[in-house]
Amino acid sequence: MSTEIRPAASPDEPQAPCPPTCASVLVADDDEASRYMLERALGSLGQRIVLVETGEEALELAAQQDFAAIVLDIGLPGASGFEVARALKRQERSQHTPLLFVTGQQYTEALVTQAYATGASDLLTKPFNPDVLNTKLRVFVDLYLQRQHLEAQRRELLARTRALEESRHSLSESRESLGRTSAEHARLHALFSQAPLAIAILRGPRLMIELANPLACRIWGRPLEELLGRSFLEAPPSPDAAVAIPILQRVFDTGIAYVGKELPLRLVRYEEGAPEDTYFSLVYEPMRDGEGRVEGIIAVASEVTDGVRARRRAESVQAELEAIFESIPDAAYVGDLSGIKRANRKALDMLGYSDMEDLNVHISELASRVRVRQADTGELVPPEHTGFVRALAGESEARDYLVYNAALARDVRVRSAANPVRIGGKVAAAVVVNTDITERHAVEESLRRSEEELRTLADSIPQAVWTTSADGALTYANSAMVHYTGLRLEELLGTGFLRMISPDTREQATGLMARYLGEGEPYECEMCWLRLDGAMRWHLVRVVPLKSSSGMVMRWLGTATDVHDLRQSQSETQRRADFEQQLIGIVSHDLRNPLSAILLGVTALARREGLDDRSRKSLLRIQSSAERAVRMIRDLLDFTQARLGGGIPLKRQRADLHLVTRSVLEEVEATNPGREVVTRYSGDGQGEWDADRIAQVIQNLVTNALKYSPPDTQVRVEAVGEDGGVTLSVHNLGEPIPSERGGSLFEPLQRATADVDQAGRSVGLGLYIVDQIVRAHGGSVSMRSSASEGTSFIVKLPRATDSSSR
C-alpha cells in the first residue's frame, strides 16, 4: 500500500499538483506513527513525497520512476531495510539514488558500518531532529533537480547544434537560425550564470576549463578570465581539490558519473582572500557528443557547509541526549507497539538482556517475555493493560510491577512511570522509567515484620513502652501504657500523653524533654505519672533516639518502670541510716564531757599520797577504761564526720613523718611496757600533712599490731622517704588475717578476726578511720598477711596533693 503526498503550503491543507520540475522522495516505513513524523518533517521540502509500508513496494516503485532520494526504515517487515537497499543498488534505475536509513535501534558502530556497507548516504536514529532530516534530503533534492536541469540544457544545446549544422547550406536560414541561436544562447547563458550551483564545463582529456559560472569562480578563488583555457589538472580550486583529478579522469574514461557527498575543501575566496573550511556535494557528469562519445565533463558543486554544520550540531545534541539518557540512574526506554526503539543500559540490565534487538519486538511478545505481573497479587497483567500500552493510548500511569529478569532468572520489583510522547498533537511513542525497588521493598517488609514483632513483644511486657516522631509527638504506646492511664491510644497520640504526667511535674518534664530533643541524645529521668485510679506514682523513664545512618534522629523509643515503691523504700532506708548516724554522733559527743570529768577526777585522785595498792590499782583501771572510752568516742565522731560530712577534715602544714612517728611510738611504748617496737627511718620525711591525723594513723596501726601479736614478738615500724612521697609500714608476727576478710577489713564495724576483743573494747572503726585519713591525704593503705611472713600494713602518702601544692 502506498500513499502519495504532494507539496503544499501547510501539512494540514489540501495538496496542489506537483509541477513538472518537482522531485520525488520515496519513504518506506511500516510504523504509522513513524510515517506521520516523517510526513511532518518532509512537508517543508515542497516536493512530492511517496509513502509505502513495505520494501517490496519500494523496489517496485523505484524500478518504475526516478527518485531524488529514498528513506528506508531498517526494521521493515519481510525484507529488511538492508536487504531492500542492496536490491535497489542492483536495479539500473535506482543504483545511484541516495539512500537514507532511519531506525529505532540504538546507535552503534556496528549498525553504522552495516548501513554504509549497503550503500547508505547516512543513518538517523528515531526520534530524529526534523531539521537535520530536511537538511540532508534538501541536498539530495537540489542535486537531483540540478542534474535534471543540466541534462535538459545539454540535450537542448545538442539539438540546437544539429539544427545549425543542418541549416548551414542555406544562408538565409543560417542567418535566421543564428539569430535564434544567439538569443537562445543568451538566455541559456543567463540561466547558467544565475544558477544556484557552481557549474564548470571541462573539455577533452586534458580537462580544459571551457566554461565556469560565477559560483564556480568563487570556489576557484579566481576571476573567469584567469580560468578559461587552463587545465583543471594545472589549476585545481585548492590543494585539497587535487584528489578530484583521478576521479575526473575516471569519469572521462569510463563515462560513469560520480556523485560525492559532503566533501571537505579548504578554499581561498578571491573576494575575501582568507582560507576557510567548506563542504561540497559534487556531481561529475560525462558530456557526450552526437555519437555518444565522452567529450568532456560537466562538474556541478553544491556547497552544503551550513547543512553539515547543522547536522553536526544536531549530532552533538543527539550525542548529549544519548549521554543524558544513559546517565539516568533508573531504567528508561522509549518505543511503540512494534517494539522498544531505545533503551539505556539500566533497562537492558533490569530485564536481563544485552542487545537492543532483543527488545525491538512487538509489545505483546515482549510482555510475555518479561511476564509483567501485579506487584501485590502476582497476577499476570495482559499487554493491553500495561502502563506502556496505556501510555501509547495517551494515558499516564505510575504503579508497581513485577518483571522477569532473564539473566538472573528471577522477578524484579519495579516502580514504573509511563507517559505518552506527543508530536504534533499525536501520540508517537511511549516513554517508561522503571526504578528497581526490590531491595527497598525487602527492607521495608523486613522492617514492617520487625516492627510488628517488636510491638507484640512490647504489648507482652509490664513496662510502659512508646515511640515518638523526631519532634516528640507520640506515635505508638503499648497496652501496658494504655491500661495504666485509662486513656485510649487515640487520646495519647501526638501530645495527648502529657495529660498522664502529674500537673506538679509537667512543666519540668516538658522542659527536660524539649532540651534532650534538641540535643538528640538519650536521657533518663524520673517522672510522676497519674494512674487510672487517680494515684500519683513515680516512674523511671529512659528515652533513646533511633537514628539513620547519617546520624539524623528518625524516632524516639521510651520505656517507663514503676519505681514508686522502690523509691519509698530507699527513702525510708536512707532516713533510718541518717537517723542512726546522727544518733551515734549525738551520743558520742554528749559522752565526751562526762568522760573528761572522770579522767580529771581519776588523775587528781592518783596524785594523792597515802593511797594503798588496792586503791591505786582501782584508779588505774578506771583511768584505762575511761581512756579507751575516749578513743572509742573519738573514732565514732570521726566515723560520723566521714559519713555525714563528706570526709575527714584536714589542717595541713609542713611536717616530718620521721618526727611524728617517733613521738607516737614514745607514747605507745609508755603505755605498753615490756613490748619491743623496732623502728627504721630513711630518706626525706618532709611533706604537707595534718600531723595530728597522721599520728592517729600511726597510733591505730601500731596499737593493733601490739594487740594482735604475741607479747614476746617484735613490732617493726619503717618510715621511708621516696621520690614524690613516703611509705610507712607496720609489721607484726600475729595470726594471719583470713583472706576472705581482706576485702572488708577497711569497712566500718569490721575486725580482722571474730575471736578477738570479746570484751568489747573496740567497735571496729580503727582501720576504717585509718583508710579515711589516708584517702583524705591523697594516699592509699594496703595489707599483706601470711603465716610465714606475718602481717604488714603499708601506707603510701604523697608529699603534697594538687590542692596543697597550689
pLDDT in tens, 694-712: 888 898 899 889 988 998 9
Report pLDDT for 295: 92
CB contact at 8 A, 297 and 252: yes
In this predicted structure, what is the pLDDT of residue 354? 82
Question: Is the Cβ–Cβ distance between 526 and 538 less than 8 Å?
Answer: yes
Among 677, 766, 667, 672, residue whose Cα is nearest residue 716: 677
- Residue whose C-alpha is closest to residue 432's, from 533, 507, 331: 331
How much is the average pLDDT of 556-568? Answer: 82
CATH 4.10.910.10 fits 2-128, yes or no: no
How far is the C-alpha of 571 from the C-alpha of 579, rounded, in Å? 12
Cis peptide, bond prior to residue 286, ω within 30 of zero: no
Q: Which pLDDT band, with edges at 50, 70 and 90, does 8 fall under? A: very low
Higher pLDDT, 739 or 419: 419
Q: What one-letter code names the amino acid at 782?
A: S
Examine the pLDDT at 180 and tell me if it is beyond 70: no
Residue 628: the pLDDT is: 63
Q: pLDDT category, 797, cuts 50, 70, 90? A: very high
Q: Decide: 353 and 329 in contact? Cβ < 8 Å.
A: no
Neighbours of 136 (CB within 10 A): 26
CA distance 786 to 738: 9
Q: 442-562: which CATH topology?
A: Beta-Lactamase (3.30.450)
Closest CA relative to residue 278, chosen from 289, 290, 268, 293 = 268
Strand order in the sheet with 24-28: 2-5, 48-52, 24-28, 69-73, 99-103, 122-125
Residue 493 has pLDDT above 90, yes or no: no
Class of domain 568-640: mainly alpha
The three-class DSSP label of residue 709 is coil
3-state secondary structure of 487: coil
SS3 32: helix
Task: Write down the CATH number for the domain with range 145-310.
Answer: 3.30.450.20
For cell 537517723, name the residue.
579
DSSP alpha helix (H) spans, 91-129: 109-117
719 pLDDT tier (thresholds 50, 70, 90): very high
CA atoms of 119 and 626, how far apart (whole Å): 131
pLDDT at 780: 92
- Banded model confidence at residue 21, pLDDT cuts 50, 70, 90: low
φ and ψ at 800, to 5 degrees?
-160, 140
Give backbone dihedrals phi and psi of 298, rounded to 5 degrees, phi first. Answer: -95, 115
CA 738 to chain centre: 66
Helix (H) or strand (E) holding 796: strand 790-798
pLDDT in tens, 85-112: 888 888 888 888 888 888 888 777 778 7
Mean pLDDT of 312-334: 82
Rounded to 5°, angle at Cα 782 from 778 and 785: 170
Report yes or no: 504 and 528 within 8 Å, Cβ to Cβ.
yes
**Where are the chain's structural domains?**
2-128, 145-310, 328-436, 442-562, 568-640, 648-805
Q: Which residue has the cell 584567469?
A: 226
**How confident is the model over 136-145, as pLDDT tens digits?**
788 788 888 8
With pLDDT > 90 as the criterion, what percentage of the chain qualifies?
Answer: 10
pLDDT mean over 147-172: 66
Q: Which CATH superfamily is domain 648-805 in?
A: Histidine kinase-like ATPase, C-terminal domain (3.30.565.10)
User: In CATH terms, are 145-310 and 442-562 the same topology?
Assistant: yes
Q: What is the DSSP secondary structure assignment for residue 104, as one 8-state letter?
A: S
Q: How far apart are CA 213 and CA 278, in angstroms?
A: 19
- Residue 796 — very low, low, confident or very high, per pLDDT cuts 50/70/90? very high
Q: Give residue 679's pLDDT band: very low, low, confident or very high (50, 70, 90).
A: very high
> Contact, 699 vs 672, CB < 8 A?
no
At 806, the pLDDT band (50, 70, 90 cuts) reads very low
Minimum mean pLDDT among 314-323, 423-432, 773-782: which range?
314-323
Contacts by 179-183 with C-beta closer than 8 Å and gap 24+?
none
Distance (Å) of CA 238 to CA 219, 320, 369: 9, 35, 59
Closest to 203 (Cα-Cα) out of 281, 284, 292, 294: 294
Q: Is residue 431 pLDDT above 70, yes or no?
A: yes
Q: Which three cell numbers stand for residue 582?
A: 546522727
Q: Report the mean per-residue pLDDT for the chain.
A: 79
Residue whose entry in the numeric block shows the C-alpha cell 514492617: 448
pLDDT digit string (tens) for 48-79? 888 998 888 989 998 888 898 899 988 888 88
When pLDDT is cut at 50, 70 and 90, the band that residue 688 belongs to is very high
Neighbours of 297 (CB within 10 A): 25
Task: Report whether pLDDT(227) > 70.
Answer: yes
Please give the average per-residue pLDDT across 362-385, as a whole number.
85
Residue 759 has pLDDT above 80, yes or no: no
Cα dihedral 516, 520, 525, 527, rounded to 10, equals 60
* Residue partners of 228: CB distance under 8 A and separation at least 6: 209, 210, 211, 212
Work out whether strand 122-125 and strand 99-103 pair parallel, antiparallel, or are unpaired: parallel
8 Å CB contact between 730 and 695: no
Name which of 524, 517, 479, 463 is nearest 495 in CA terms. Answer: 517
Predicted structure pTM score? 0.40
* Other beta carbons less than 10 A from residue 179's beta carbon: 10
Q: Is 90 exposed, middle or buried (0-12, 13-18, 19+ CB in 10 A)?
A: exposed
Helix (H) or strand (E) holding 48: strand 48-52
Is residue 762 classed as helix, strand or coil in its secondary structure? coil
Q: Which three cell numbers stand for residue 336?
A: 511503540
The C-alpha atoms of residue 132 and residue 234 are separated, in whole angstroms, by 37
Residues 783 and 792: their CA atoms lie apart, in Å, by 6
Contact assessment for residue 697 and residue 751, using Cβ atoms and an 8 Å cutoff? no
Rounded-to-integer distance, Cα 755 and Cα 697, Å? 24
**Is a pLDDT exceeding 50 seen at residue 760?**
no
pLDDT digits (tens, 9 = 90+) for 533-558: 777 888 888 888 888 878 888 888 88
175 versus 608: which is more confidently predicted?
608
Dist. CA 413–CA 378, nearest whole Å: 11
> Which position has the grid cell 515503691?
565
Whether residue 20 is predicted with pLDDT greater than 60 in this model: the reply is: no
The percentage of the chain sitting over the pLDDT mark of 70, rounded to a whole number, equals: 82
Tell whether the model's pLDDT for residue 163 goes beyond 70.
no
- pLDDT band at 456; cut points 50, 70, 90: confident
Q: Per mean pLDDT, which range of 368-382, 450-464, 790-804 is the poorest? A: 450-464
Helix (H, G, I), strand (E, B) or coil at 381: coil
Contact between 698 and 664 (Cβ < 8 Å): yes
Q: How confident is the model at residue 17 (pLDDT cuts 50, 70, 90)?
A: very low
Whole-angstrom distance, CA of residue 25 vs CA of residue 97: 10
How far is 303 from 662, CA to CA, in rounded Å? 123
Cα–Cα–Cα angle for 14, 16, 20, rounded to 5 degrees:
160
Contact 84, 72 (CB under 8 A): yes
**Does the pLDDT of residue 173 top 60, yes or no?**
no
More confident residue, 357 or 420: 420
User: Band of the pLDDT at 573, cuts 50, 70, 90?
Assistant: low
Q: Please name the amino acid found at residue 49.
A: I
pLDDT at residue 10 tops 50: no
Q: Tell me the backbone φ, ψ of residue 534, rounded to 5 degrees.
A: 95, -5
Torsion of the alpha carbons at 62, 64, 68 and 70, rounded to the nearest 10 = -20
Q: Rounded to an integer, what distance in angstroms lies between the CA atom of residue 402 and that of residue 378?
A: 7
CA 550 and chain centroid, separation? 11
In this prediction, residue 805 has a pLDDT band, given cuts at 50, 70 and 90, of very low
Dmax (CA) for the chain in angstroms is 201
Q: Which carries the bigger pLDDT value, residue 688 or residue 140?
A: 688
In CATH, the number for domain 328-436 is 3.30.450.20
**Residue 220 DSSP symbol:** H
Whether residue 720 is predicted with pLDDT greater than 90 in this model: the reply is: yes
CA pair distance 115, 764, nearest whole angstrom: 108
Per-residue pLDDT for 804 more than 70? Answer: no
Q: What is the mean pLDDT of residues 742-760?
A: 59
Closest by Cα among 423, 352, 353, 362 to 389: 362
